[in-house]
Structure 1
């Protein structure tokens, strides 16, 4: 007999409750207000938007968190194709406002809004601690980032530098758009299956299973993204969809050749590129552990 009933699996696919959702919305609204109220930042060109599991609506009950991107759009970082120079594309004007200054300004805006004791600066983000009306919120100050093509067109994302001087590029809006599209093509089952996988990971940890730190919530969403739509569309129960998704991911992560083309949800990075902390073998081992945990 399987470890969880169909009714239990259905409950794990559901989004946060209305109370939790209200806290999430309050957090996003408060950050927007902090940025727009700051005398220095209100004179800058910025955009504040949600990203991560909250914005993608794949967060799970009791484990909801919120990530807010505060992006400076008055300048941009860029990557050029090998065949082009910055002069050819007219990218010669030096910036007079640095990323470090921007992150410092965002931190000060949050301190002005929430108080020094409720704002913690971390390597990658600035965290607003939880309260009775909001959940813990990670604010990521970024700059606009442009990945140029040979013809001079570009794809827009975001880029930031950690306090340990590591540069990170992301494409959060493409991630959101692609998730919405796949969710539509699977009768809203893509995000539900993602929540189910995430919830089961938390259940395994709570039950004392030795789950690798390399198996992140982001990774699980990407793995479901790479699962064919037919697995979400062709079966009538969540147990069957879950089993088939585990089996598909397991079978296709035995050898690197079978998953080397898998992408992140944005489809702008390979899922198993060298800078990621996880590997296809980590995923393969985890799927076997998950299968055993579910007593299939």
Structure 2
């Protein structure tokens, strides 16, 4: 007999309560107001939008923070195909406004709105601490990022520079769009199954099980993304859908060859390329741990 009842699993697939959702929305609105009312930033071309589990509607508990992207669209970073140079695309005029200046301006706008003691600058983001009306919010200042193809067309994402050095590129809008499409194509079960996997990870950690730090909420969403739609549509219960998703992920992560083409939800990065925090073996080991936790036979 499975460890958790069907009713318990069903409860864990549900989105946040109305109260939780209100706090999430309040946080996004306050950040948007801070940026749009700032004397310096309101003269710049920017876009503010949610990203991560909040924006993708896959968040599972209130004490997880939310991510708000504040993107400068008046300049951009870029990546080019091999053998191509920036001159081939007419990219010869660097912006006089730097990324570090933009991050400073976003920080100042947030301090003006929330107060210095409630705003903490970090390596990758700027955190607004939680209070009674909002949950902890990570504001990520970014620039537009353009991934060029051979024909000169480009895909738009975002990029930020760490205070400690280095950069990170993401494609959050493509992630959101693809997630919505898969959810619609699976009788709205993709996001529910993602929440279930995420909730179980938290439950295992709370129970003191040795869950690797490499198994992140983002990774779990991407793993469920690579599960075939049929597993979400052809079974009648959450115990069956959960069980079959674990069987599928475990089987496909036994070797590099079987999952080398797996992508993030955006489908613009491979899930298991070099330099990742996680490895294929991390995932395979975790699926065994999860199976044992669920007491499946």
TM-score bracket, normalised by the shorter chain, equals: over 0.9
Counterpart in the other structure of 1:25: 25
Q: Distance in 2 between matches of 1:274 and 1:287?
A: 21
Report 1:89-168 matches (<5 A): 89-168=89-168
Shift of 1:163: 1.0
Counterpart contact for 1:59–1:65, Cα < 8 Å = no
Q: Distance in 2 between matches of 1:291 and 1:63?
A: 26
Q: Distance in 2 between matches of 1:163 and 1:234?
A: 48
TM-score (norm 2): 0.99
Shift of 1:2: 1.2
Secondary structure at 1:139's aligned position in 2? strand
Shift of 1:63: 4.1
Q: Distance in 2 between matches of 1:258 and 1:156?
A: 29
Deviation per CA, 1:61-114, whole angstroms, max 9, x where unpaired?
334421000000000000111232211211111210000000000000000000
Q: Distance in 2 between matches of 1:266 and 1:94?
A: 28
Where does structure 1 lack aligned partners over 5 or more consecutive residues? none
Counterpart contact for 2:53–2:59, Cα < 8 Å = yes
Secondary structure at 1:245's aligned position in 2? helix
Aligned-residue CA RMSD (Å): 0.7
**Residue 46 of structure 1 pairs with residue 46 of structure 2:** yes
Report 1:1-296 matches (<5 A): 1-296=1-296
Where does structure 2 lack aligned partners over 5 or more consecutive residues? none
Deviation per CA, 1:239-290, whole angstroms, max 9, x where unpaired?
0000000010001101010001000000000001112110000000000000
Shift of 1:166: 1.6
TM-score (norm 1): 0.99
Secondary structure at 2:72's aligned position in 1? strand
Shift of 1:157: 0.2
Counterpart contact for 1:183–1:190, Cα < 8 Å = yes
Counterpart contact for 2:14–2:192, Cα < 8 Å = yes
